[in-house]
Amino acid sequence: MAFCLRNNFPLIIKRILSQKSGKSIDFHRIQQLRLISTSWCLNKVVSFNLSDIGEGIREVSVKEWFVKTGDIVEQFDNLCEVQSDKASVTITSRYDGKIVKIYHKIDDIALVGQPLVDIDVQDDDEPQGRDDPEKYSDSSSSDDDEGKRSPCPAADVIRQKVLTTPAVRRLAMENKLDLTKVTPTGKYGRVLKGDVLEHLNLIPAGTVKPHPTLLQHKVEPPAVVLAPKVEDRVEQLKGVRKAMLKSMTEALKIPHFAYSDEIMMNNLMAVREQLKADALERGVKLTYMPFCIKAASKALLKFPILNSSLDEANESVIYRGSHNISVAMDTPQGLVVPNVKHCEQKTILDIARSLNELQERGQKGSLRPEDFADGTFSLSNIGIIGGTYTHPCIMSPQVAIGAMGRTKVVPRFGANDEIIKAFVMSVSWSADHRVIDGVTMASFSNLWKKYLENPNLFLLE
């Protein structure tokens, strides 16, 4: 429509003025009116933004300008050189036109996606001069021809439906290329020089990126919003969970280090199987945990540093005389850690009886505050739930904790290099590295392991 109005503008003005005034019209004046510019209506000043130059770079420094305000540029002309923290990049123009504004000075920071320059884009539909047939091939040589021309000839519409510049038309003509077959990427469907070069395979495909005005017309499918089946809810921490929040927050202040090992359980399994029925007759359910607790107590006698606590204020270590070994239990109220008191003075059967009582009270929710107080060392049996190795968190003010994993059946070599069926349990230790070193932890673990792999040692003491 703009093309039809512009090419027939003098004729329209002539007829309107004639009808209004009834006087003869100065044809030379009409000829001058015909050259009225409509660039501001077509919004031909475009902002050339700094495109993404890859590798996550979001800003660059402008090192050199190759153009200045008022310069005429063509596509692929160098505009400036920018420096990122990785490389220098030369920025080239996407448009033919005149530089009307430069946004950055030398050494300024330019952001990706923000304008570098404003370019007044040349329009082949806009007359650049009456005496240059190449720059304005659509202009006629006399007003008589305009008077005879129809307001909007069909042939002109077909010929002018491809928006591009004279330079691009000349390039297409030299290569005998039909511009209607070229995919445009310029503003409002304009065919750029890069589009022609890409169509002729002179530059790699995808070099020229589509103008945002082309992308905005694409209709995106409506996003499918799924309503949640279960609504979010907020639950205030209380009881066991509130206590766990406080204890684990304190645990994170301790510099943990870990140590793991494997224990052959064949002998212990055989001993427990022999004693299980007799213990049940005495009203005690005998599991593997009493053996693990007693073995830990035996090892703590030799390595008392693991049964201590750290007094940070006085920079001292407090050695605990009693072996009050804490045991993690799963209850309806959550995970609780009561302790078996004075394990160094109790037999395996006594420890088993104390464990049974704690478990019974835990299931009923009737554990007492004294059941949790004064713990000096901790053991946790994650194997009853599953899993092999873990990284247990130390319960302050204690300095060590152990966690036993699931017992697995694996092949092992026997004393005569024969393959035997072995029951192997893994154990993971965590210790406070401010107090305990790796050698001490490993030595403690070896002694604990020795008692479990040779349970008859319990009879010697």
Out of 108, 145, 311, 437, pick the active-site residue.
437
Q: Is 9 left (phi over 0), alpha (psi -120 to 50) or beta?
A: alpha
Measured CA to CA, the distance from residue 201 to residue 275 in angstroms comes to 87
- Contact, 120 vs 165, CB < 8 A? no
Question: What 8-state DSSP symbol labels residue 165?
Answer: -
Total residues belonging to the chain: 461
For residue 455, is the peptide bond before it cis, meaning its omega torsion is within 30 degrees of 0?
A: no
Measured CA to CA, the distance from residue 82 to residue 116 in angstroms comes to 11
Whole-angstrom distance between the N-terminal and C-terminal Cα of the chain? 107
Q: Does the active-site annotation cover 28?
A: no
Measured CA to CA, the distance from residue 205 to residue 194 in angstroms comes to 10
User: Helices (H) and strands (E) in the chain — how many of each?
Assistant: 15, 18
Dig out the tokens for 62 from the structure: 């402008």
DSSP string of 276-299? HHHHHHTT----SHHHHHHHHHHH
Which residue in the block uniquely carries the two structure tokens 């220098």?
88
- Contact, 287 vs 279, CB < 8 A? no
Beta strands in 24-176 (DSSP E): 45-49, 59-65, 72-73, 78-83, 88-92, 97-102, 109-111, 115-121
Bridge partners of residue 262, in order along the sequence: 426
Contacts for 228 with CB less than 8 Å, ≥ 6 apart: none
How many CB atoms sit inside 10 A of residue 259's CB?
A: 18
Question: What 8-state DSSP symbol labels residue 383?
Answer: G
- Contact, 288 vs 295, CB < 8 A? no
Bridge partners of residue 261, in order along the sequence: 427
Measured CA to CA, the distance from residue 49 to residue 118 in angstroms comes to 9
Which residue in the block uniquely carries the two structure tokens 């512009």?
6
Q: Does the active-site annotation cover 433?
A: yes
Out of 156, 330, 342, 433, pick the active-site residue.
433
Beta strands in 324-399 (DSSP E): 325-327, 329-331, 334-336, 339-340, 377-381
Phi/psi at 301 (5° precision): -65, -35
**What is the pairing mode between strands 419-432 and 339-340?**
unpaired
Q: Which residues are catalytic?
A: 433, 437
